[in-house]
Structure 1
């Protein structure tokens, strides 16, 4: 009897292996794997398309930016004065005056003017600065630090 029970168990086990329920689960699993694979391929294709569109638009925007920067450079204000213009400004020696309450310090370095110091008086607005301070300023700007009056080359003659 034990061999008969063993053979029935063996046949039962084989029959359970080929049961429809197990086959449906395997069929659903294969279906989900195919769907997942399709989603991965579709996502990859969409990302590649977006990447190619971004690269073409970035090259187009780079062209627009280059053209725009060329036009901006045409209309940009000058950064500073030439060294020759800065050196042509007259240098004077500061003398303390009891009648002059204005101009006791350089507004760039906030240092007090001492008697005999080299100062520059800007021609258009007559503001006074230490020579070294205003030279550094005028190398990067073309106007007075206080009133922003333009330093014109014609006014230096």
Structure 2
């Protein structure tokens, strides 16, 4: 079944000799230019993608911050914390350990024996402030720093603001 017009293919190792491979001037120039164009296009694409991502994230951040400012924050004329006069008007008391009361659970006694801001245990004779709205007790320095930026109890978030009767 051999075809008379078919030629047989003979593989010769001498035909694939790489020692004669040469790149001449123009071919090398074309390769360098092509490689430079590919690098330039890749760099431009990278910068474009980076700008798009930044603009989308900044516009999303602006939208979130604008909407959260309009919904959650009080008017700018009203400070978020308490003024110094109000903070200083909270009475200071001296901490004394009370004997363990049988009616209190262990969580209630632990809660009243440590400052929940600094997590320090109250020592006998410490100066503490008891917030009148919720009766939670804190070290004077701890609660004063808190109330400068917040107007609520650090533990239960009850308002500490004293509303003047109108």
- TM-score, normalised to structure 1, is 0.56
1:32 Cα deviation after fit: 4.3
The answer to whether residue 124 in structure 2 is matched with residue 113 in structure 1 is yes
SS in 1 for 2:145: helix
1:151 Cα deviation after fit: 2.6
Question: Larger C-alpha radius of gyration, 1 or 2?
Answer: 1
Name the structure 2 match of 1:91: 92
Name the structure 1 match of 2:158: 150
The answer to whether residue 90 in structure 2 is matched with residue 82 in structure 1 is no
Name the structure 2 match of 1:139: 148
Q: CA 1:119 to 1:80, structure 2 compared with 1: closer, same or farther past 3 Å?
A: farther
Q: CA 1:63 to 1:113, structure 2 compared with 1: closer, same or farther past 3 Å?
A: same
Q: Mean Cα displacement is larger for which, 58-67 or 91-100?
A: 91-100
The superposition leaves residues 121-151 of structure 1 with CA deviations (integer Å, 9 ceiling, x where unpaired) of: 1123212233233212322444434x42323
Structure with bigger helix share is: 1
Distance 1:59 1:141 in 2: 34
The superposition leaves residues 25-83 of structure 1 with CA deviations (integer Å, 9 ceiling, x where unpaired) of: 66x43324413322222321332243234325423432332232222233446896312
- Unaligned regions of 5+ residues in structure 1, if any? 1-23
Contact 1:120/1:134, CA 8 A, preserved across alignment? yes
Q: Mean Cα displacement is larger for which, 87-96 or 122-131?
A: 87-96
Distance 1:43 1:137 in 2: 55
- Unaligned regions of 5+ residues in structure 2, if any? 1-19
Question: RMSD between aligned alpha carbons?
Answer: 3.7
